[in-house]
């Protein structure tokens, strides 16, 4: 049985079923970092960047914090979003990364936008996304687009 919800905005009411608002979107990120120096630290977190200016980015995962003694690191993060994407066609996923993989060993930030975009099909209640990436983070800062492997159903 589905509930029906009324939203009233600017004097107009919309009738929305929880089929649209109750959808769960499950994400798994398999991430491998390469650093051309031994011993580095990372803090990485994944977000859906929203199109609407007044609506902030949606947190997909908790922040992953790790230190590596070698020049490589692998981790897997899981997360979930629910329901507010019924007007969108895709998730524009961004990884916010803080790391010390530079000659000075000082923390720097990089925003890494993941491609391809994560499609939002309108056909089922629960969606699953799995993203694989291998990224050299040596001296990485600013904004970057990364094309990885996305599997979705």
Sign for the pseudo-dihedral over CA of 78, 117, 140, 35: positive
**Position 91 in a domain:** yes
**Position 5 in a domain:** no
Give the residue numbers spanning the domain of 121: 21-152
Residue ranges of the alpha helices (H) in 1-151? 18-21
**Position 96 in a domain:** yes
Question: Do 42 and 73 meet the contact criterion of CB atoms below 8 Å apart?
Answer: yes
**Position 97 in a domain:** yes
Structural domain total, the chain: 1
**Position 121 in a domain:** yes
**3-class state of residue 34 by DSSP:** strand
Residue 18 has pLDDT above 50, yes or no: no
What pLDDT sits at residue 124? 66
Choose the weakest-confidence range: 2-6, 33-37, 138-142, 143-147: 2-6
Q: Across the chain, what does the average pLDDT equal?
A: 86
**Position 74 in a domain:** yes
**Position 49 in a domain:** yes
CATH assignment at residue 38: 2.60.40
Percent with pLDDT over 90 in the chain: 69
**Position 9 in a domain:** no
CA dihedral 63, 67, 71, 74 (to 10 degrees): -40
Say if strands 118-119 and 12-17 run parallel, antiparallel, or are unpaired.
unpaired
Compute the 3-state secondary structure of the chain and give helix, strand, coil in percent, each to the nearest 5.
5, 60, 40
Has this prediction a pTM greater than 0.75? yes
What tens digit of pLDDT does each residue of 64-109 get? 999 999 999 999 999 999 866 667 889 999 999 999 999 999 999 9
């Amino acid at each position: 049985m589905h509930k029906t919800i009324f939203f009233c905005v600017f004097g107009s009411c919309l009738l929305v079923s929880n089929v649209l608002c109750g959808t769960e979107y499950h994400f798994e990120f398999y991430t491998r970092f390469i650093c051309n120096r031994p011993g580095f630290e990372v803090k990485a977190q994944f977000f859906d960047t929203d199109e609407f200016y007044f609506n902030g980015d949606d947190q997909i995962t908790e922040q992953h914090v790790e230190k590596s003694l070698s020049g490589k690191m692998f981790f897997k993060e899981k997360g979930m979003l629910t329901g507010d994407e019924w007007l969108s066609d895709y998730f524009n996923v961004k990884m916010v990364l803080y790391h010390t993989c530079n000659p000075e060993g000082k923390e720097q930030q990089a925003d890494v936008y993941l491609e391809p975009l994560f499609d939002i099909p309108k056909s089922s209640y629960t969606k699953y996304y799995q993203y694989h990436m291998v990224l050299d983070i040596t001296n990485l800062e600013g904004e970057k687009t990364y094309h990885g492997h996305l599997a979705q159903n």
